[in-house]
Chains A and B, each alone.
Chain A
């Protein structure tokens, strides 16, 4: 059993986000980068499957050299080898094509990733990869068990859960509670430096979108408290100041 886990290299959730170069680039100064939290769930479940099924885990990131510490962390957590596609992840299509190209070469039984990244939150890559490879793509997967060539999954749907079954190979976009995040142990961290990390050049350069610029949400305004007996004042404020009535 060969599993590919695709991870993103994203700012820590507590980072203060700022932009540079006329709001076209993220200001990386002082920002700590982590494995995308949803990808981290996928990786955690993959590590459990590795123990259960004796699977081999390959972890993949599309990114420039600065993302290697993030890949090493995935190796420390339990992946066996890593691949970095040496390119800035321009958009979802670009990333999906790189993943599909790698997958075609290596015939993975299962491709896992987060339901979405937490930087651009596109949530499209798993679907695109499934399409490019002609295999099913399911998301958001909250539970995933493998029995033979069958995969039993639970998926979050509006107002409830959906239980489904599919055959390998497939792509799973994962979220909690598929597994609990794993903290790498010290021995894992030490062995990570000797595990293979291969760098490959992108297989294609297609992009579907282009970023023109980023805009931060407006700063939170102050809160005005209106006495509960003074409805007229509330209506006036909603009409004249908030302009929502």
Chain B
């Protein structure tokens, strides 16, 4: 039970605690079996998807995507998280993250995959009773049935609990009769099973139902015409007197909103991992193209402007990998620990996921924004060809955009992560106020002139991270006091705080991963990872300083503002870095290897 002996950290506590590099999981630690699974999944994506992505996205052959989906089922890719007792493989959380990561390079199919294995299957897995689980999970785990998740309505998007879909008990008490309209439903076109959220009678909260297509009363609009992920089915779904047996109510009446929130929570961290495959593929294409493309008599990747972009794609991808798999393992460890204490599996999983909901939201926001950065620079490196639908960047650019919107918009997720943190602090679940007070006191005391020993690798960087956490505690603490319960309506400040949290978690994760890698392989073998981590942190300091300034300007005045700005200056002090040289070093290595070479 090594999971129980390592120092465990609660969700959000990264802001107030230091983490030992040896306590985090790093991508490089996947074992032979997991790597083989990832490779098999990659082979599936290369042979089944990449060879006919045009055909998939054209949607001219309605049977094509369902047939690829069935093949994914035959390979076992749809049952990764489903326990063996229900026809799945019962793999670890990080293994399911790894598979989502690889499938992430599959363009529109990654949405098909995510909608089925995540929001389509997991509500039954986590909230279903024994009968529901044994009836439906084996069909979903093998791909015999496809699932979709019907939450959003025309007037209920981010405000999901305001949905108007109604469920009324039939006169004989045997059925719920569902009426209503759902939209943006991924996989609707070929789904056999619908997870439907509706309010029973005049309930305040949603309830969730398992609805088979054959129950009747389900009709659909045509496929939506979308900006990207064109090959994934997205439709409006109408329920007209759809008769659902009472035993298909999922969990308790009124529990639907909680289910929706918790399931989206898992979807978020999976989406964080799910962008990685796309990032690597785009970076690898960009390396190849910039090698082949000659201007002024040389490959364009000999130019610093291109190297800067290539390196930056890798640096951000590396940070995102680091934070996703760090959080993934924290979740897995917590699940194991709770299960070892005797908690039923499904409950342990939910509790663990809830515990790390802040990290899940960070993974979603960071990942989707890294992907958008990577595809944007990918288009730029391709130049005119980047804008042409004949080259792969155009599709990647369009497909990426949805990630900032679905599974909760990035704005909602930013509010959520700060809101959750403050709520936990109020409830005393996370000891935020004490360190925040300590930082506040430090502001008015004489600064410490103690210098740190920078001879050890990353000693200076870890000190910077420590200070960045003080920035968050200073700004967050003061904002909470100054704005009190109005803080939730000061969304701009909430977003500033979220940005600070995200950058701290990403920079720290990248450095911890590299530290662990150095301890395993030595400094020389990790030279490029060291360079990437340093550059990432350097940039994070700049971003955090900017976000903090904006927040301070929004709520602090006079002397308080002055003191905070002085504190900010003190806490964001870092050594100048030759980012140009470090990025060139990273880019040259990428060019030498001809692909994203860090995982």
Contact = CB atoms under 8 A, between A and B. Distances in A.
A193 interface: yes
A30 B36 contact: no
B172 interface: no
A196 interface: no
Given A16-B593, A30-B593, A186 B32 contact: no
Interface residues of B, number: 22
A186 B75 contact: yes
Nearest to B99: A186
Contact of B36 (A14, A16, A189): A189
Interface in B13-65: 32-33, 35-37, 39-40, 43-44, 47
B284 to A, nearest CB: 10
B128 interface: no
B43 A186 contact: no
Contact of A183 (B33, B44, B79, B89): B44
Contacts of B44: 183
Contacts of B37: 186, 189
Contacts of A14: 594
Contact of A186 (B35, B77, B594): B77
A186 B593 contact: no
Contact of B74 (A185, A189, A192): A185
A72 B39 CA distance: 13
Given A16-B593, A183-B47, A186-B40, A72 B75 contact: no
A182 to B, nearest CB: 9
B597 interface: yes
B551 interface: no
Contacts of A189: 33, 36-37, 40
B92 to A, nearest CB: 12
A79 to B, nearest CB: 14
A187 to B, nearest CB: 5
B80 interface: yes
A143 interface: no
Contact of B76 (A73, A185, A192): A185
A177 interface: no
A69 B40 CA distance: 13
Contacts of A184: 36, 40
Nearest to A16: B594
B75 A190 contact: no
A185 B77 CA distance: 8
A193 B75 CA distance: 17
B33 A190 contact: yes
A185 to B, nearest CB: 5
A14 B284 CA distance: 13
A76 B36 contact: yes
Contacts of A69: 32, 35-36
Nearest to A18: B592
Given A16-B593, A16-B594, A30-B597, A187 B36 contact: no
Interface residues of A, number: 17
A73 B36 CA distance: 7
A72 B597 contact: no
B47 A72 contact: no
A63 B124 CA distance: 47
B102 to A, nearest CB: 12
A16 B591 CA distance: 11
Contacts of B75: 183, 185-186
B33 A193 contact: yes
A186 B79 contact: yes
A12 B189 CA distance: 39
Given A30-B593, A193-B33, A183 B76 contact: no
A73 B42 CA distance: 14
Choose among B40, B74, B77, B593 the residue with the greatest number of A CB atoms under 10 Å from its CB. B40
Nearest to B42: A183
Choose among B75, B91, B597 the residue with the greatest number of A CB atoms under 10 Å from its CB. B75
A186 B89 contact: yes
Nearest to B74: A185
A186 B594 CA distance: 29
A101 to B, nearest CB: 28
B80 A186 contact: yes
Nearest to B91: A186
Contact of A187 (B32, B76, B597): B76
A183 B43 contact: yes
B40 A185 contact: yes
A189 B35 CA distance: 10
A107 B9 CA distance: 58
Interface in A62-81: 69, 72-73, 76
Nearest to A184: B40
A184 B33 CA distance: 11
Interface in A174-220: 181, 183-187, 189-190, 192-193
A239 B74 CA distance: 61
Interface string B80-120: 10000000010100000000000000000000000000000
Contacts of A73: 36, 39
A72 B32 contact: yes
A193 B32 CA distance: 10
Contacts of B74: 185
Contacts of A186: 37, 40, 75-77, 79-80, 89, 91
A192 B34 CA distance: 12
A212 B35 CA distance: 35
Nearest to A32: B39
Nearest to B78: A186
B29 to A, nearest CB: 16
A216 B597 CA distance: 23
Contacts of A185: 40, 74-76
B373 to A, nearest CB: 26
Contacts of A187: 76, 89
A183 B40 contact: yes
Contacts of A181: 47
Interface of B: 32-33, 35-37, 39-40, 43-44, 47, 74-77, 79-80, 89, 91, 592-594, 597
20 contacts: A16-B592, A69-B35, A69-B36, A72-B32, A73-B39, A183-B40, A183-B43, A183-B44, A183-B47, A183-B75, A186-B40, A186-B75, A186-B76, A186-B77, A189-B33, A189-B37, A189-B40, A190-B89, A192-B33, A192-B36
The 8 closest A-B pairs by CB, nearest first: A186-B76, A185-B75, A183-B43, A185-B76, A184-B40, A189-B36, A183-B40, A187-B76
Given A73-B39, A189-B36, A189-B40, 4 more contacts: A76-B36, A183-B44, A183-B75, A190-B89
